[in-house]
Structure 1
Amino acid sequence: MSRPVSGLRENLQELLRPGVEALGFELVGIDFQPREKNSLIRLYIESKSDKGILLEDCAAVSRQVSGILEVEEPIAGRFTLEVSSPGLDRPLFEMSHFKRFLGQKSRVKMMTEVEGRKNFTGVIQAVSDSTVTLIVDETEFELIFDDIKSARLVPKY
């Protein structure tokens, strides 16, 4: 997804992914929120063995990643590091995430308007090389992936 900080987010993913994977986890995505005084780096991880994520897992990844960030210093200034599982309302960062959750309901926020709106909640109908198709109240919307600001699954309760 294109964001003002997408370049830094991608650099962080490349830098941190090997350390996360060395511990047996997959780096699902990174949410980076630059702030003047204290930026936020939020990592979403999953177990490669589908056993779920425990608090101890998050702590181990946090220690590993903190060490990498201290040495490499990819971010100027202070920051807070958070590590968590994606949760039921997991964020969708990549095209592969949309493909994995075809047929499921998601909430998508766009950077630019599509047919007069920026927010969509609907079922992921199809995924192509550059678009995600959502069905919202029986209406089909083809959304350009690079224009997606953020996306999350909508959990079933």
Structure 2
Amino acid sequence: MSSSIQDQVEAALAAAEPDVEVLLAEVHGGQTVRLFVDHPDGVTLEVCERVTHALAELRERYALEVSSPGRDRPLTKPQHFRRFLGRRAKVRTRGDHDGRRSFTGELVGATDDAVTIAADTGVIAIPYVDIHRSNLVEE
């Protein structure tokens, strides 16, 4: 994930669409920006259209895909992990942790620095900086 693209999108939407939360913004294939957004009233086609129009400058450089998080909602910030404590998630790390790079289990803790997951191999704390990707998984 490019934090710079995430920062650009969040900054552009902060004024235009303050109720929209950017869950994940990532560049795919160097040509497409894929956005997962959330809104307190849910993500409708109208919300996606407003986000698309608010990001006109970004659309000059990239194709833009805007969608709701769906069932496999991405988790990218400490507050996301806190909100979904008790739910199952899959966390993939940049490097090995206990000889593995992928952990699926219940989210049991979330500080400002790390998430704790009760995986099949035991409870493990993973610093956010070591997380490559993470998302909720169906129960």
2:12 matches 1:12: no
For 1:38-77, what aligned pairs fall within 5 Å after superposition? Answer: 38=31, 40-48=32-40, 50=41, 52-66=42-56, 68-69=57-58
The answer (yes or no) to whether the contact 1:89–1:154 under 8 Å persists in 2 is yes
Residues 66-87 of structure 1, C-alpha deviations (whole Å, 9 max, x = no match): 2x436xx7xxxx4110111111
Give the alignment partner of residue 101 of structure 1, picking from 77, 84, 87.
84
The answer (yes or no) to whether the contact 1:124–1:135 under 8 Å persists in 2 is yes
Give the alignment partner of residue 130 of structure 1, picking from 93, 113, 123.
113
Q: C-alpha distance in 1, partners of 2:97/2:121?
A: 16
The answer (yes or no) to whether the contact 2:12–2:54 under 8 Å persists in 1 is no
Unaligned runs of 5+ in 2: none
Largest Rg, 1 or 2: 1
Task: Give, in angstroms, the shift of residue 35 of structure 1.
Answer: 3.3
Give the alignment partner of residue 144 of structure 1, picking from 124, 127, 132.
127
Q: C-alpha distance in 1, partners of 2:125/2:115?
A: 6
Q: C-alpha distance in 1, partners of 2:8/2:111?
A: 25
Task: Give, in angstroms, the shift of residue 31 of structure 1.
Answer: 2.3
Unaligned runs of 5+ in 1: none
Task: Give, in angstroms, the shift of residue 60 of structure 1.
Answer: 2.4
Structure 1 length-normalised TM = 0.78
**CA RMSD in angstroms, aligned pairs only:** 2.0
Residues 39-95 of structure 1, C-alpha deviations (whole Å, 9 max, x = no match): x212222222x3x222232122212222x436xx7xxxx411011111111001100
Give aligned-pair identity as a percent.
Answer: 32
For 1:32-43, what aligned pairs fall within 5 Å after superposition? Answer: 32-33=26-27, 35-36=29-30, 38=31, 40-43=32-35
Q: C-alpha distance in 1, partners of 2:73/2:115?
A: 17
Number of aligned residue pairs: give it: 139
